[in-house]
Amino acid sequence: MNREDIEFKGEGDVTLRGWFYPAQNTTTPAPVIILVHGMSGVKEMHLDDYANVFAEAGLNAIAYDHQNFGDSDGTPRQELDPVLQYRDIRNAISYAIARPEVDGNRVGVWGTSFAGGHALMVAAIDKRVKAVVAQVPFVSGPETLVRLLRGDFLLHVRDNLAADRANRFHDGAPAMLPAVSPDPMGQAAMPQTDAYEWFTKTAALRAPNWKNEMTARSLELASEYDPGSFITQISPTPLLMIVANEDTSTPYALALDAYERAREPKQLLVTQGGHFDFYTGPGFDQVSTAARDHFVTHLRA
């Protein structure tokens, strides 16, 4: 499918780079969907597949790399700053609605994993968004941290973060850690075994610019991020939340609790499988179809 290389300015005047997919088989201007990836992910890691599904349904689509990652500019490299990331989604919306192909009154946001939390956040605070899909979303940094890390390890992590903060204060280089690790007891931003298998396999097949590292400060910033606390403010924007019943990365119970607090209109899709089962095969078909139908219903009707 045709796509256009694009760039636009994000927070701090940083250049962000991505792809624009024009809506197919429809008249313009047409709706637009902004797609964003999760922790350390780059756009080559199957965002193109989702964008193609949306474009074939008559929806423009934009996928891009977060600042500090992939093809986008920004420093420190490999640092995840959730506030900058969700603000950049708002910048992506501003870029999108300035394009002649886009109907600025029909904007959707789709986010997966950590960016599923961004989708919730942006839909809550930016009412230019008229439909939102949050796929296996990260909903609470504080709660996720204590559920996924042992208490003794958590104390060790916090000691290391404090040391890194002191070193940065004195102009030292940021401490780095792997994004994923084959050792579930090792130090990594995502120590789960399925995370290691998915990221390393996907990078080898289709995303050579993905790097298996993140700044240590990324963990600190993520642990302070609580997008689920804004979920009651999404209404009246229609919400589709997609969760996985065997998710070990963004806890299933936390997502369900957030969904219960969301106001109508809302829809929940509970899938069978783990956090990374939605990018190929039947899992992809199921959730991409659900997301497509949600956007078509609320943006093309």
* Predicted confidence (pLDDT) per residue in 270-295, tens digit: 999 999 999 999 999 999 999 999 99
Q: Which whole number is the average pLDDT over 118-147?
A: 95
pLDDT of 155 over the 80 cut: no
Instruction: Count CB atoms within 10 A of the CB of residue 63.
Output: 27
CB-based contacts of 250: which residues, under 8 Å, 6+ apart? 113, 114, 116, 136, 137, 138, 139, 144, 275
CA triple 222-223-227, angle to 5 deg = 70
Bridge-based pairing of strands 129-135 and 176-177 is: unpaired
d(C-alpha 160, C-alpha 124), whole Å:
34
C-alpha closest to that of 296 among 86, 110, 44: 110
Model confidence at 266: pLDDT above 80: yes
In this prediction the pTM is 0.96
Identify the bridge partners of residue 7 per DSSP, sorted by sequence position: 17
The residue to which tokens 């400060």 are assigned: 217
Domain ranges in the chain are 4-141+226-300
pLDDT in tens, 171-184: 989 999 999 999 88
Mean pLDDT over each residue of the chain, to the nearest integer = 95
Span 40-56, average pLDDT: 99
The whole-number average pLDDT for the span 63-81 is 99
Given this model, what pLDDT does residue 107 score?
Answer: 99
Cα separation, 124 vs 127, in Å, equals: 7
Name the CATH superfamily for 4-141+226-300: Alpha/Beta hydrolase fold, catalytic domain (3.40.50.1820)
Give the number of other CB atoms < 10 A from CB of residue 161: 17
Write out the two tokens for 288.
């991409």
Q: Cα separations (Å) of 153 from 91, 146, 149, 182?
A: 37, 10, 6, 17
DSSP 274-293: -TTTTSSHHHHHHHHHHHHH
